[in-house]
Structure 1
Amino acid sequence: MSAHRVEVARIVPVPASVAFAWVADPRTHPRFIPLTHLRPEPTAPLGVGDEFTMVSGPGVGRGRPGFPDRMVVTAEEPPSSRAGTVGRSAVQKKGPYLYGDAGFDVVPVDADRTRIVWWEEARLAGPWPRRANEVLVGLFLRGMMHVSLYRLARELSRHGR
């Protein structure tokens, strides 16, 4: 059975290399994904095989507990505007609450614009029917992804270059 895929796309006003640097590095994610923090924050960029944890929830930024989302980097393929290749950064979600795969595809549009496609194939841990679980999680994810990509585009417009 194939996983339920949710994806949201947005064009951002920066070259593909800049967009990829932002979405491929989990250290930048708290700057555009609401209520999310990286714990602990690595001192260097992560690569394929590296594990990290994002913690999400109200008050997480003030030290309150949240929902951990453990992940491992499974792909790190930079885009090339010159060659017209799409970049991909992907992770596998390892629980304890969310399982599945997620990532960003970075598509060069021209020298100064990039289409970012954020996709998720995630489900909550638990005994309920997988398809219903994925669809319900997808509804929440879609809204969060729209807000996050809007915030990313705004951030890149101001400071991305």
Structure 2
Amino acid sequence: MPTFSVERTVPLPAEEAWRRLTDWPRHAGAVPLTRIRVLTPGPTREGTRFVARSGVGPLVLDDIMEVTVWRPPADGACGLCRLEKRGRVILGWAEIEVLAAPGDRSRVVWREELRVRFLPSAVDPALESASRRLFGRAADHLLERP
């Protein structure tokens, strides 16, 4: 069960970095072969559920997530979103933290614990490495494009 984090400092105000990172449908454009479907009416809040379906044809995995903490950045306070993975195969959690930084910049930390049922722990190092690269690229994509 690998746990990893991705950190970035970006030239965006915290509120804009937060908006880009928590716009769930936009994640589909940042993660290859993935579609996002929000299962609950907006706006996002605690209890919001969505599914990221990744794959092609019959080879797909659903990553079902529920927002369990929703605290947008405000008045200099750090923003925190925690997602619990509720699928049959993909389990764990993710946290997105956004903090205002000097010069109208933001510090972003994306932490994730990823468990894939039926995979032996021997593959954890490879899963962690691949996940760090995938989610690092996804964060970059989301933060670079409005």
Q: Output the CA distance in 2 between the equivalents of 1:127 and 1:13.
A: 39
Secondary structure in structure 2 of the residue aligned to 1:11: strand
Question: Aligned pair in 2 of structure 1 residues 134, 46: CA closer, same or farther (>3 Å)?
Answer: farther
Does residue 33 in structure 1 map to residue 25 in structure 2?
no
Q: What is the total number of aligned residue pairs between the two structures?
A: 145
Q: Which runs of 5+ in 1 are unaligned?
A: none
Structure 2 CA distance for aligned equivalents of residues 11 and 141 of structure 1: 20
| C-alpha distance in 1 between matches for 2:46 and 2:103 | 27
Runs of 4+, deviation exceeding 4 Å: 40-43
After TM superposition, the structure 1 = structure 2 runs for residues 8-157 of structure 1, keeping only pairs within 5 Å, are: 8-39=6-37, 44-57=42-55, 59=56, 64-65=57-58, 66-80=60-74, 82-83=75-76, 85-110=77-102, 112-126=104-118, 128-129=120-121, 132-155=122-145
Offset at 1:75? 0.9
**Partner-residue secondary structure (3-state), 1:45:** coil
Determine the C-alpha separation between the residues in 1 that align with 2:63 and 2:117: 11
Q: Amino acid of the residue matched to residue 26 of structure 1?
A: W
Q: Is the CA contact (8 Å cut-off) linking 1:7 and 1:120 kept in structure 2?
A: yes
String of CA shifts for 1:83-109, please: whole Å, max 9, x gaps: 3x2111111111222111112111111
TM-score with structure 1 length normalisation? Answer: 0.77
Over aligned residue pairs, what C-alpha RMSD do you find?
A: 2.2
TM value normalised by structure 2: 0.84
Give the structure with the higher percent strand: 2
**Deviation for aligned residue 1:56:** 1.4
Identical counterparts, % of pairs = 29
